[in-house]
Structure 1
Amino acid sequence: MGNLGPYQDITTLAKSLGGVDKLIKSIEYDAVKKSAPVLLGVGALIGVGAKPIFDAGKRGWAKYKGSGAAAAEAKDQLKAVVEESMTSNDSDGDSSGVRQER
């Protein structure tokens, strides 16, 4: 070690690798190499965790679509009952459209 301490160690290493850019790329490569197994594990956990969430979303969407169809059917039934009530009131001679209790 020279009189510059760690700075001299870094500059000597950079010189031996062919320059500062190559030293930085070497450091980056080693960092990625060390973290890649962790990234792979995290990706697998996310994939495993995402499947139940995706399935729940699919079930929720199917339920939502089913309730929309049920609502449309109920609306049609209500419309038919109201129309039937209106026509039966008209045939009774009551033109007000409101059914009267007898």
Structure 2
Amino acid sequence: MIDEESRGKDRAVNDVLTYMMGFEDRVRVVLVQPKHEAWLCIGLGFDKIKCRKQPEDVLRYNKGNYEKRYLAEWANNVDIGKLRNEPDFQDYLDALNWLLKDP
């Protein structure tokens, strides 16, 4: 799973596959749109529109800072109910299920 990070779908996927040379036939890439941080931000109860535009800024403002090292800790406080009605989050869950079922 990777974020697009404004690179565009093809470039983001190719960036991953570059590191997996020789194993491309065994790699499955799931591209996450929006960034993981946007869902984290929404799941923590912050403004959806702002979270989708600049999640890092919203997290920084509401949490006092923003560093990737805190993301896993903050994820423990996500209210999954706030994400269930987000179509792109459902797509994400579907992708996870696809990965689990893929041989």
Question: What TM-score do the two structures reach when normalised by structure 2?
Answer: 0.18
More helix by share: 1
Question: What TM-score do the two structures reach when normalised by structure 1?
Answer: 0.19
